[in-house]
Structure 1
Amino acid sequence: MFDKSTIAQLSELKTAIIASKEYGQGTVVGSNGRFGFVKLDDGRDAFLNPEKMQLVLPGDKVKVLLTKNSKDQLEAAVETLLEPAFKRFVGEYKIKGNNHFVLPDTKNFGRWIFLPPQFRAKCKDGDTVLCELIRHPFNEDGKAAAKIIANIGKESDPYFEHKLVVAKYGLFRYWPKDANEQAAACKKMAIESGDRTDFTHLPLVTIDSYSTRDMDDAVYAEKTDSGWNVTVAIADPGSFISPSSAIAKGARDYGQTVYLPGEVLPMLPDNLATEAFSLLENETRPALVCQAKVTNEGAIESFTFEKGIIRSRCKCNYPAVSQYITEGTTFSDDTEINNTITTLAEFARVRLAYREANNLVHEDQPDFDLYLDNKGKVDNIVKRERTVAHKLVEEAMLVINLCAGELLASHSAGIHTRHDGLRQDRLGEIKALLKEELSPEEFESVAESLATADGFKALVKMLRVHPTKSHIISPLKRMSANSHLSIEAKPHSNQGYAHYATVSSPLRRYADLSNHWTIAQILAGKKVQSANEKAVTRLNETLDNGRKAVRETEQWLKSQYVQAHIGEKAQGHIRIVTQQGFGVKLDDTGIEGFVQIPKSVKKAFDAKRMTLTVGETVYMLDTPIEITIAEGLPEKRRVRFEVDAINAAIEAAKTAS
């Protein structure tokens, strides 16, 4: 037996040994071989030999012990599995003899995971399947196992891409029995509507696409001597769906309606989104109504929110409204409807001018509609230009969202959309760029306030009118933060707003539905419940997951579509520049591809300006360029473009060598 003194000495020795070791945390990264790496949080890479790699999976977050091996490489030994890479995953069904496996559809994942006999399904070799990991290799001496959840099918199946993406990103929409029962009850309550202010006398109109069924906003404006009284009515599911209900929990988990090409994955049950709460023409509906007084100059002078009953006078579509505004064509036999649209158009024009003078308004980016055939493949791509009708609706929605942001901020509540301007970790690089490009006086005028919303706005406005330096805006955008949801009422720097909180789409976005609940508490004089920070963090992750799913589906389908257009030339704009080449987005179809420049071609990359110089040509962001469609790579969800000048440089490099 050791005495107390010896035990204390041993404990101190153990502590000293532990303290002398170097530990780190990071993410496991696979390779084309059996070995791997841990991408440490501090930016370093630590080697994982094949034996240690056997205990983990690519994407796992781990705590590791760091040492140096015989090659003087930083090497890792996994001490703790902090977070598994995945629970559910998509992969390819593999059969080898009597054993069945799945190969996960993950980059640099060459490892087959065993499928125990009791967890297999009626699948064939090569089928794509959805699986669940039931045994992680870290806990089982390197022996991983999974079970089949669903057979997605083969790539030749109709709409295979959609099925795989829905499974891969967990976008299944499933409503339990109690949610369906609740939906029926909500529909009945919505029709009965309850005690609300009656706005049915106002000639409110909805303006949307021909095919839209989940209409969640209706608008009206009247001219006054001092400006406009603008009324925006938003569908009000929040008054009938309890935050703790099954439907609310489902909406929270789904985050928003996801629009895949040719397929809509709704946030709410269809009979609520398209029937009970949709602001259908000539149907009485409950609504959250915002009435705002806007001055002749376009400023929002005051606003109110209240629960109301409305009746949309007309379901208008974008092309007809746009044609009526720009060409004066006949629109409706109802004079009040015509007057409403005319007044809204005048309001929108003044309001836009006000925002251009006082906030930040960015150039419109076109959308593209992918039309699919009966197999789910792209048959045609149509560019959808933004019209004056779209801008009319946009200005009205901005008004209600800005008013909601102001109201929620005054109660330190709600879910806000914020944009933090320039990234803090890039400020040094940004200042160096501005110091090189601007005069000393210009640099001094913006340098100290770059990290603030007002400073960001002042910088962008100055560069937009600068005679020679407006091109700097493009790389600055790439060095800016992404917008995100937050429980803090911080500025939206990219738009130049002090506060911004969306309430205009509660049928499609959970953040908007949640803000409706909060506004209802404020209107009722109840204690306001603050949004949960962890829940909002999870919501941001859910929304990002949905965006990735949409992008992958579109890229996959487009990379198939271009295979019938190899060799065709097209016009586009440069969207991204790297050391290896540059990405281009085509003007007429929105197809994105990459121009790869081999190492053999001499080139110079400027990371601050995000330019790539090849010979005498400088390739920079947002500049027009002609490309040739060279190759579609569906398995990589990529398209390869070529540029004549780059091809000439490649040939010259071959000749020189």
Structure 2
Amino acid sequence: MLKDNPLLAQLKQQIRETIPTVEGVVKATEKNFGFLQTDNKKSYFISPPMMKKLIHGDRISAAIRENNGKEAAEPETLVEAALDTFVARVKFVDKRTKLQVDHPLINQLLSAKVIKDSGFSIKQGDWVLARLVKHALKEQHFQAEIFEFIAESDDNFARWKATTKKHQLAWDQPELTEDLAIIDQQVERRDLTNELFFTIDGENTKDMDDAVSITREAEHWKLKVAIADPSAYINSESKLEKAAKQRAFTLYLPARTVPMMPSKLANEHCSLVADQVRPALVCEMLIGLDGELQENAEFYLATVQSKHRLNYNQVSDFIEQKATELESNAELAEALQQLNLFSEQRNQWRAENTSVFGDQADYEFVLDNKGQVIDILRQSRRSANRMIEEAMVAANICGGRFLDEKLGFGVFACHSGFKEEKLDGLVELLAKFKLPVEREKLNDLDYFCQLRRTIAATGDKCLDQLVKRHFNFGVYNEKCLPHFGLGEAKYATWTSPIRKYSDLLNHRLIKSVINGETPSSPLSEELSEHLSDNRKKQKFAEREMANYLYCEYFAEQDPNTCLLAEISNINRGGLNIRLVDSGASAFVPKTKLAGKDEELTIESELGRLATKDKQYCVGDTISVKIVEVKKLQQSIVAAPC
């Protein structure tokens, strides 16, 4: 009787209309409760029973109820589900198929079934691709269907396969279905096979895409950068071209490289292997003895023959006088010394006139044949790395100038400096560090570079890191816009056409000009977004795989070992750090920095945290030990030693 009472229904509706509702995104925690974060950054508590109907990232509307002076969100309507297609591991619970979603903040198991006529079977621990078909907030329970098999549970590289699938990236090299032969035999190429070109790469590098030649003359260095020419083998309408476009970049995962082009093309036909004649695109440039790059660079097609296959450590040892192996070849030794002098002078000129960022170490995971981490090697940037880097940066500056002057379009690497919406905050930040600036000039390239040099001169790592948080992301543009990060008005990369599709496009444009053709712009807005999106996907995949391996590694290490770490960020919860010798990210909770009743002063906007005994700043180096490894969340917790 009461159930159908219209007066009761009306009363319920009136009560409901008096309860405020909000819309926001669900933020899960490692525990069973969560929060609803609105667009204006206000958070409301979500109780554990309510969280059982939600998934981290869901967008919902919720009623806000108050109890004992505390507000809490009561989910009402699903606006947009966080999960659609997802990667998961199979779990059998009471003979029922469940899925553990591969996400650190989604810990509930989802009921699932394999689609009909799938052609595969599943067992405990297998990796699969599934889609969510029912959501608990709408239909009382979660239900998923499994439609693709990824890897078996005992596959040593299952995690790699799952990660690439999760980020919609290829796991293996493109299929080679075409014969490889030079297709531009008719073009004129200069014969440089008798000149001293050499390559400097990693010890295990096979796709050697650049070789250099350098001589010192009375008033300048003459530097020739020869770049492998894959466009000599593939045309713009081929299957290989389409595969390269889809992949956009070579993917570098720990212990696994997924090439943009087939290895037979990248590692054999194109690679500038010592003593083998190869087609190349060459940039010949003059650099003043003060390090300034001259304007009169020349581009041309050539055939080259690298005379020496060198590696970074080998050359660095020679330059740093730690080995004499290369002294026996006087011509090569002189060329290496000149390349080093060029790079030092060029770097100094850039530091004084443009914008230079400090060296960052690289890290290499050493794995056994079962995919287990044996060791993590820190590889500092040495003299040979800087020699090649300065040569390539100079060549790409010349590429930007050439394309802008000859065509007025290209695939330019652009960086617009600071985010417009963050300029006011940046001005306030710099004022607190006693660095007053003119806001209206912050988007001027020269002013930006001068500010970067001023900050570098202070030696304040904290300020440097805080300012970088205001940077924009780099983008690709068909028009020549400045690259603030490098302090260059014109910049277009073309020196890695085997590994980067944008560089291959610029290769084709430069070759078109050389051959007297009139090309059209290859970069649409859609392609620009595709390149940027794929680079982001790759960075996420690379970081995710690294975090997984770091957790696997440190879970087996002595927890009492003290490790050096640099503070990368400070927030209200504690310190984000990066371990110096391994590159692993970790978190030091504030509870590990001070006692329960001890007062903390946290100024995250200034990169500072202080206890009664010690002050921590972004950029500081501290000694820590690992206290917990959370494999499911892929996070490492540390505490001061």
Using the size of structure 1 for normalisation, the TM-score is: 0.83
Match of 2:401 in 1: 406
Q: What SS class does the counterpart of residue 331 from structure 1 fall into?
A: helix
Instruction: Name whichever of 23-32 and 415-424 sits farther off.
Output: 23-32
Q: Which of the residues 419, 423, 432 maps onto 2:419?
A: 423
Does the residue aligned with 1:274 lie in a helix, a strand or coil?
helix
Distance 1:36 1:284, change over 3 A: same
What letter matches 2:638 in structure 1?
F
Describe how 1:405-554 pairs up with structure 2 within 5 A: 405-410=400-405, 411-438=407-434, 443-444=436-437, 446-466=438-458, 471-523=462-514, 524-554=516-546
Query: Could you tell me which residue of structure 1 aligns to residue 145 of structure 2?
Result: 146
Offset at residue 538 of structure 1 (A): 2.1
1:99 to partner: Cα distance: 4.5
**Cα gap change, 1:582 to 1:518, in 2 (>3 Å):** same
TM-score (norm 2): 0.85
Output the CA distance in 1 between the equivalents of 2:584 and 2:50: 42
Q: Is the Cα–Cα contact under 8 Å of residues 32 and 110 in structure 1 kept in the other structure?
A: no
How far off is 1:285 after superposition?
A: 0.8
**Which residue type is aligned with residue 244 of structure 1?**
E
Provide the C-alpha distance between the structure 2 equivalents of 1:346 and 1:434, rounded to a whole number of angstroms: 36
Q: For the Cα contact (< 8 Å) 1:218–1:234, is it kept in 2? A: yes
Partner of 2:11: none
CA-CA distance at 1:638 after TM superposition? 1.6
Whether the 8 Å contact between 2:115 and 2:147 is mirrored in structure 1 is no
Structure 2 segments unaligned to the other structure (5+ residues): 1-19
| Aligned CA distance change for structure 1 residues 141 and 588 (closer, same or farther; 3 Å) | closer
Task: Give the Å deviation of 1:195.
Answer: 3.3
Shift of 1:220: 0.6
Amino acid at match of 2:424: G
* Aligned with 1:166 (options 164, 168, 171): 164
Q: Single out whichever of 72-81 and 513-522 deviates more from structure 2.
A: 72-81
Q: Displacement of 1:625 after TM fit? A: 0.9
1:349 partner letter: E
Task: State whether residues 215 and 279 of structure 1, in contact with CA within 8 Å, keep that contact through their aligned partners in structure 2.
Answer: yes
Amino acid at match of 1:593: A
Displacement after TM superposition at 1:643 (Å): 0.8
Counterparts of 2:44 and 2:636 in 1: how far apart (Å)?
33
Given that residues 424 and 439 in structure 2 are in contact (C-alpha distance below 8 angstroms), is that contact kept between their aligned partners in structure 1?
Answer: no
2: CA distance between counterparts of 1:501 and 1:263?
Answer: 28
Map residues 212-611 of structure 1 onto 2, 5 A cutoff.
212-301=205-294, 302-327=296-321, 329-331=324-326, 333-410=328-405, 411-438=407-434, 443-444=436-437, 446-466=438-458, 471-523=462-514, 524-562=516-554, 563-598=556-591, 601-611=598-608
Matched, 1:118 2:116: yes
Q: Partners of 1:54 and 1:242 in 2: how far apart? A: 54
Q: 1:245 to 1:585 in 2, by over 3 A?
A: same
Deviation at 1:635, TM superposition (A): 2.1
Q: 1:31 to 1:427 in 2, by over 3 A?
A: same
Residue number in structure 2 paired with 1:15: none
Bigger drift between 571-580 and 96-105 goes to 96-105
The structure with the greater share of residues assigned to helix is 1
Whole-angstrom distance in 2 between the partners of 1:210 and 1:33: 46
Structure 1: which 5+ runs fail to align?
1-21, 645-657
Which amino acid is the alignment partner of residue 465 of structure 1? A
**SS of equivalent to 1:640:** strand
Matched-pair contact (CA < 8 Å) for 1:560–1:633? no
1:108 aligns to 2:106 (yes or no)? yes
Can you list the C-alpha shifts for 1:93-130, whole angstroms capped at 9, x where unaligned?
233556434232232352514314626642223x1322
Verify the 8 A CA contact 1:629 1:640 in the aligned structure 2: yes
Contact 2:208 2:272 in 1 (8 A): yes
Match of 1:538, SS state, is: helix
**Percent of residue pairs bearing the same amino acid type:** 25
Q: Is the 8 A contact 1:218 1:312 kept in 2?
A: yes
Contact map agreement 2:54 2:137 (CA 8 A) in 1: no
Shift of residue 238, structure 1, vs aligned partner: 2.5
Q: Deviations over 1:146-178 (max 9, x none)?
A: 224115233x653343233233223334567xx
Per the alignment, in what secondary structure is the counterpart of residue 492 of structure 2?
coil
* 1:218 Cα offset (Å): 0.3
CA-CA distance at 1:236 after TM superposition: 0.9
Report the residue type matching 2:501 in the other structure.
Y
CA shift, 1:403, in A, is 0.9
Give the Å deviation of 1:392. 0.9
Aligned 8 A contact 1:266 1:508 in 2: yes
What is the match of residue 131 of structure 1? 129
Residue of structure 1 in register with 2:5 after alignment: none
Q: CA RMSD in A?
A: 3.4
Q: In structure 1, what is the equivalent of residue 4 of structure 2?
A: none
Counterpart CA distance in 2 for 1:423 and 1:624 is 29
CA contact 2:46–2:72 (8 Å) conserved in 1: no
Residue 383 of structure 1: how far off its partner (Å): 1.7
For residue 189 of structure 1, give the secondary structure of its aligned residue in structure 2: coil
Closer/same/farther in 2, CA of residues 109 and 190 from structure 1, 3 Å limit: farther
Aligned partner (choices 604, 618, 623) of residue 620 of structure 2:
623
- Structure 2 CA distance for aligned equivalents of residues 109 and 133 of structure 1: 17
Write the deviation string for residues 394-451 of structure 1: whole angstroms up to 9, x where unpaired. 111011111112223333422222223233332222212222331xxx515x444223
Q: Deviations over 1:175-223 (max 9, x none)?
A: 67xx5222xx2x3227968532222222111111221110000001122
CA distance in 1 between partners of 2:307 and 2:604 (Å): 54
Q: CA distance change for structure 1 residues 339 and 160 in 2, over 3 Å: closer, same or farther?
A: same
Amino acid at match of 2:169: L
User: Alpha-carbon deviation of 1:581?
Assistant: 0.9
Q: How many residues align?
A: 606
After TM superposition, the structure 1 stretch with the greater mean CA deviation from structure 2, 312-321 or 517-526, is: 517-526
- Structure 2 counterpart SS, 1:482: coil
- 1:96/1:343 CA distance change after superposition, 3 Å: closer
Contact 2:127 2:158 in 1 (8 A): no
What is the distance in 2 between the residues matched to 1:220 and 1:342?
A: 12
Correspondences of 1:16-95 after superposition (within 5 Å): 41=39, 43=41, 58-59=56-57, 71=66, 85=82, 88-95=85-92
> Is 1:119–1:148's contact at 8 Å kept on the other side of the alignment?
no
Post-superposition CA distance 1:544-588 (Å, at most 9, x none): 111111112122112221232211012222122111111222222
Question: SS of the counterpart of 1:341?
Answer: helix
Question: Is the Cα–Cα contact under 8 Å of residues 244 and 501 in structure 2 kept in the other structure?
Answer: yes
Question: How far is the alpha carbon of 1:77 from its aligned partner?
Answer: 6.3
**Whole-Å separation in 2 of the counterparts to 1:532 and 1:596:** 46
SS of the aligned residue for 2:297 comes to: strand
- 1:76 CA drift (Å): 7.5
Residue 491 of structure 1, CA deviation: 2.0
* Aligned counterparts of 1:119 and 1:479: Cα–Cα separation in 2: 52
In structure 2, what is the Cα distance between the partners aligned to 1:603 and 1:131?
46
Q: State whether residues 190 and 285 of structure 1, in contact with CA within 8 Å, keep that contact through their aligned partners in structure 2.
A: no
**What CA distance in whole angstroms lies between the structure 1 residues aligned with 2:580 and 2:538?**
25
Aligned: 1:640 with 2:637: yes
Task: Decide whether the 8 Å contact of 1:54 with 1:137 is kept in 2.
Answer: no
For residues 349-404 of structure 1, the C-alpha deviation after alignment (integer angstroms, 9 at most, x for no partner) is: 22112111111222212112211122211111222122211111111101111111
In 2, distance between residues paired with 1:92 and 1:299?
A: 56
Tell me the distance in 1 between the aligned counterparts of 2:502 and 2:418: 25
Whole-angstrom CA distance in 2 between matches of 1:34 and 1:380: 35
Q: 2:182 aligns with which of 178, 189, 192?
A: 189
